[in-house]
Amino acid sequence: MTDFLPVTREEMEQRGWTQPDFIYISGDAYIDHPSFGPAIITRMLEAYGYKVCMIPQPDWTRDEPFMEFGEPRLGFLVSSGNIDSMVNHYSVSKRRRDKDNYTDNGEMGKRPDRATIVYSQKIKQLYPKTPVILGGIEASLRRLAHYDYWDDKVRRSILLDSGADLVLYGMGENSIIELAEALDGGLPIQDIIWIKGSVYKCKTIDHLFEHKLLPAFEEVSQDKRKYAESFRIQHLNIDALNAAVLVEPYQGWYVVANTPALPLTQQQMDFTYSLPYKRTFHPMYHHIPAIDEVRFSIISNRGCFGSCAFCALTNHQGRVISSRSKQSILEEAKKIIQDPDFKGYIHDVGGPTANFYHPSCQDQLKRGTCPGKECLHPKPCKNLEVSHRDYLSILRDLRVLPGVKKVFVRSGVRYDYLMYDQDDTFFRELVQYHISGQLKVAPEHVSDKVLDTMGKCNHALYEKFREKYLALNKEYGMNQFLVPYLMSSHPGCDLNDAIELACYLKSINHIPQQVQDFYPTPATISTTMYWTGLDPMTMKPVYVARDPHEKQLQRALMQFNAPRNYKLVHEALTRAGRTDLIGYGRDCLIPPVPWGKPAAGAGRKTDRHVKEEGKRKGSGSGNTKSESRPQKSGKGREESAAGKKHAAQDKRFDQRRKSSQGSSSPANKRKG
């Protein structure tokens, strides 16, 4: 089958169906691309012979949209979509966002807050006896009691709040097929309690032989230390090979989380990405902005052993890397090349971390990841296997395919893992061939104290990486930027740390165009720190900037030279006792008075003031241009901002490639 799945009763009947096996309800518009979870799950079910219909973004205020196909034979599958609905709707300051990239024309308001709960409750009202199975990132990360940033309290497992029958957490391909076969065999949903990667509720746990009992919900919702203890147990049991079954008591119920599903083998990964995706959004829409970032991109791997404390990926995909074969990736590239809108540029080849193509060590495949130990933090494990050989081989084969002009790596490179590689061939070819004008990396901060809390490597390693990156660009005659992602107000970061970061930004002459404040999303170590004030892995106290005004001060320091931030930066420096950074000196962040305003009683500027102001502009006080600032994009062909950016970058590379063909300069040849 090569068409979109039915979205109306008429389309279902055109296939000769009278009743679907499953109805998938999604908070996203319908995009049939392997970068989107709903597409993978529905195509997987289709491949195993099940009849699946889609209800994307139903109007939850009415019954009729949920009754479009009638009652499914086996069950309803419910997801908020590719992103948590609350993160999708609200910024870290809890301001309602203006745009939903997963909706037609980016329109907001097409899904409810807490979409998974709302959809599930509506279905249970209409079809109380039909199984309802939750999946996707929203359900996965809320499978047990969790701190909710928007309510500022601990909420129950989403299984209880939604009234659903089962949660499938993680990526779900194998779990959904096992569940479908059990339902198809006539088993009641309440008896399906063995599937790896599932969460169910029950009145008694007498049937369990081995499990770990978590603190009861009534405890973790009232006692922050108990919450931290519970999270620690959960975090130590996220590996498919060595995790235990977890049981969370509630009044009248137990919520049981089975062990995670096994990571996909390479053969299974290849099968998943070989399914007949349409690779675009349904024709009933005008344009879905989210497709622009991934339409000409290829997923090569899953999982991440980086284990950043603020990232929920470990809790969703796990730490063990699953990767596709080279042949599978090349076959997808050939499909992309046939797209009439393809202009020769593969925008990305990667995953959560582009250059994690192998498990960090072979022991993981036999015994699982080490509980309580990380592969890269605080220092790389002695068993860490560092190699870019196979990933580089894939990039080399992709860039010589007929019709391909350039293959970019945009999904994020772990620079620490890159620097641990004794063979710098990948680093060199990355700079020569695979950067689209700028390389984005995530040092996150410069204070080693804060970096340790984040689970990141020390700042000195980033500086070594940065120096080598600039040196390689110079060696190859390239003019490519380095864009560091930085974060304010992460647990462990106080005003002094924020000031240290601001001073560093001035020293490298870089002012971020956007500032990312720490966002406490469910099921991360950092969110647990934010809520409890404790590091759940050590139970030691952690400083947390919870006051909105202090968070505002930390954000302002990252853009210290913006006139709108002058008062905030002045206040931050004064509160921290760092008034030495207020003045006209070379190291000062701001002058004694706002830019453009003379001091009280002062006349026109003296020659000295003019000279000092010139120094400030040259050293970053008023100048945001730098070696690491991205160039502005020109006019592009795509309808969204992401599409315009990619189109402009593609156009620049076209121009550079053509100019290099007319020159015999070695530097020009390397650029092309």
Return binding residues for [4Fe-4S] cluster: 304, 308, 311
Binding-site residues, in ranges, read 304, 308, 311
- The two tokens of residue 339 are 């797209």
Residue 211, classed as helix, strand or coil, is coil
Cβ burial 208-245 (10 Å sphere, 16+ → b, else e): eeeeeebbbbebbbeebebbbbbbbebbbbbbbeebee
Cα–Cα separations (whole angstroms), residue 522 to 4, 157, 194, 455, 500 = 33, 11, 25, 17, 29
Tell me how far apart the alpha carbons of residues 70 and 53 are, in angstroms, rounded to a whole number: 11
Contact 266, 317 (CB under 8 A): no
Length of the chain: 672
Residues 6+ apart with CB under 8 A from 585: none
Which residues lie across from 147 on neighbouring strands?
154
Cα atoms in the Cβ-side hemisphere of radius 13 Å centred on 423: 10
91 phi, psi to nearest 5 deg: -80, 175
DSSP 3-state assignment of 69? coil
Helix, strand, or coil (residue 168): strand
Half-sphere exposure of 434 (CA within 13 A, CB side): 29
Residues with Cβ < 8 Å from 494, sequence gap 6 or more?
543, 545
Q: Which amino acid makes up residue 393?
A: S
Specify the residue for token string 């679907």: 20
Burial class (CB in 10 A: 0-12, 13-18, 19+), 47: middle
Task: Give, in order, the Cα–Cα distances in Å from 263 to each of 240, 249, 301, 364, 414.
Answer: 8, 28, 11, 11, 21
Q: How many other β-carbons are positioned within 10 Å of the β-carbon of residue 59?
A: 11
Q: Give kind and range of the element (H or E) at residue 256.
A: strand 253-257
Cβ partners under 8 Å of residue 602, min gap 6: none
- Beta strands at 132-134 and 75-79: parallel, antiparallel or unpaired: parallel
- DSSP alpha helices (H): ranges in 93-223? 115-126, 136-141, 158-162, 173-184, 217-220
Structural element, H or E, at residue 22: strand 22-26
Dihedral of CA atoms 494, 500, 506, 507 in degrees, nearest 10, equals -160
Q: How far apart are CA 354 and CA 415, in angstroms?
A: 11
**Structure-block tokens of residue 431:** 């700079």
22: left (phi over 0), alpha (psi -120 to 50) or beta: beta
Q: Which two tokens stand for residue 639?
A: 């309808």
Among 51, 26, 21, 20, CA closest to 38: 26
Nearest to 304 by CA among 263, 275, 244: 263
Buried-state track 320-331, b at ≥16 Cβ within 10 A, e below 16: bbbbbeeebbee
Residue type present at position 497: D
